[in-house]
Amino acid sequence: MKLNVKAFALTCGLIWGVGVLFLTWWLILLEGSEPAPCFLNRVYKGYTMTPLGSIIGMVWGFIDAGVGGAIFAWLYNLLSGKCLKTG
């Protein structure tokens, strides 16, 4: 079975991007909008615990997970094809 690389990449990007958006808003609603340092600040340039920062984090998360999902699906297809030929 092969994975559709574009569909898998889009799915990963959407899930992670929207997840970052919802997580940021959840923390803003519970703890308030303060510039507290967190791990995503170091990974995603421009991300902060603010409404604008949540949008920036969503875009970075979509790109990051989309590329990661595409690499994963491509590598899966490559290795599953080789395993089927040898096995």
pLDDT tens digits for range 4-49: 999 999 999 999 999 999 999 998 888 776 666 678 888 899 998 8
Query: Nearest to residue 44, comparing CAs of 53, 34, 36, 31?
Result: 53
Domain count along the chain: 1
Q: What is the distance between the alpha carbons of residues 63 and 57, in angstroms, rounded to a whole number?
A: 10
pTM of the full structure: 0.84
Query: What is the b/e burial string over 11-44, where b = at least 16 CB atoms within 10 angstroms of the residue's CB?
Result: ebbbebbeebbeebeebbeeeebeeeeeebbeeb
Of 19 and 87, the one with more pLDDT: 19
* 73 close to 12: Cβ distance less than 8 angstroms: no
Please give the residue range of the domain that contains residue 51. Answer: 5-86
